[in-house]
Amino acid sequence: MKGLILVGGYGTRLRPLTLTLPKPLVEFGNKPMILHQVESLAAAGVTDIVLAVNYRPEIMVAALKKYEELYNISITFSVETEPLGTAGPLKLAAEVLQKDDTPFFVLNSDIICDYPFMQLAEFHRSHGGEATVVATKVEEPSKYGVIVHKPNTIGQIDRFVEKPVEFVGNRINAGIYILNPSVVDRIELRPTSIEKETFPSLAKDGELYSFDLEGYWMDVGQPKDFLSGTCLYLSSLAKKGSKLLTPTTEEFVHGGNVLIDPSAKVGKNCRIGPNVTVGPNVVIGDGVRLQRCVILQGSRIRDHAWVKSSIVGWNSTVGRWARLEGVTVLGDDVTVADEVYVNGGSVLPHKTITSNIETPSIIM
């Protein structure tokens, strides 16, 4: 089987982290975001993966080469000279996607969930249509394009209603699909939307179905959602009894759902958790409080610092008695001085913060 991951462009929503690395290589749960998807595709029997990119492919080529050997898969890059939307990249990669008559998976690189690829493939084969969209239930459907099914069918899609004023359903497109190669023939090589052009055409012809996603789902393409997605991912690991999580018997673990790389060092009298990820070679001083945050590789959190609802970028330093909160994001190699308070700051790489930031702002 084959898979195409829509990587896209500059990752501006996740800045300042994407000023250092392309978004798919930013660590989520202590491994690159895209590796979660590659692992799941490989486990489902996918042997050919296409990455549709239009930004910095050379960095990803080097990083992903080792995964080819590790998972015995072929990874190719489909490079857009202009952004082609969400459908155009499929046409650009037609040579791989249409090399045989097996269906292929398509997914957005920002999506984190328990990828149900094997069950999805089974459901797709069972209904005989050209395309299947993974659907997830949401509490506020009025913010999204909502799926409306044909009556008395098992998952056959009638139409999509964009940001409905009245309740028509609570299932939305989760950004994961399985398509027959014939779908590529419906797409022109130009900037085009799979959601607004290709899917309505398939629905009109009675060829589009939906598959309900169980469990968590999150688009982690911006910092607040990256943090929310981390909470969901860690909760999912806890439900599965994953050995990746730091045991709650550790005296510094407070509230559970804590993922700490074995190479990280934790000082005395710390309280870490719930929902914290600590990357490789991080050094946490004495009396530190970490809650609902991500600390990326090589960072130092000095004694008695307090970090909540924030992302600390690679090789950064948070000073003694400093306090970060309010979806603060530090880029690569940022220093926050001792006793400084940062609320909702977005700090570009290689900066030093010596005075308080009390309202959300970008620090150039």
- Alpha carbons 208 and 160: distance in angstroms, whole number: 11
Which ranges of the chain does DSSP label H, i.e. alpha helix?
Answer: 33-43, 57-71, 88-92, 94-97, 117-127, 199-204, 223-239
118: left (phi over 0), alpha (psi -120 to 50) or beta: alpha
Residue 243 is a catalytic residue: no
3-state SS assignment for residue 187: coil
**How many of the other CB atoms lie within 10 Å of CB of 12?**
11
Instruction: Answer yes or no: are the C-beta atoms of 314 and 330 closer than 8 Å.
Output: no
Q: Which of 59, 58, 64, 62 is nearest to 5 (CA)?
A: 64
Residue 267 tokens, joined? 């000082």
- Alpha carbons 19 and 296: distance in angstroms, whole number: 15
Q: What are the angstrom distances between the C-alpha of 73 and each of 12, 23, 91, 145, 197?
A: 30, 22, 22, 34, 31
**Is the previous residue joined to 32 through a cis bond, with omega within 30 degrees of 0?**
no
Q: Which of 217, 203, 198, 173 is nearest to 85 (CA)?
A: 198
Residue 259 tokens, joined? 């993922």
- Alpha carbons 248 and 177: distance in angstroms, whole number: 37
**58 forms bridges with which residues in the sheet?**
none
Single out the catalytic residue among 143, 163, 224, 240: 163
Would you name the residues annotated as active-site residues? 163
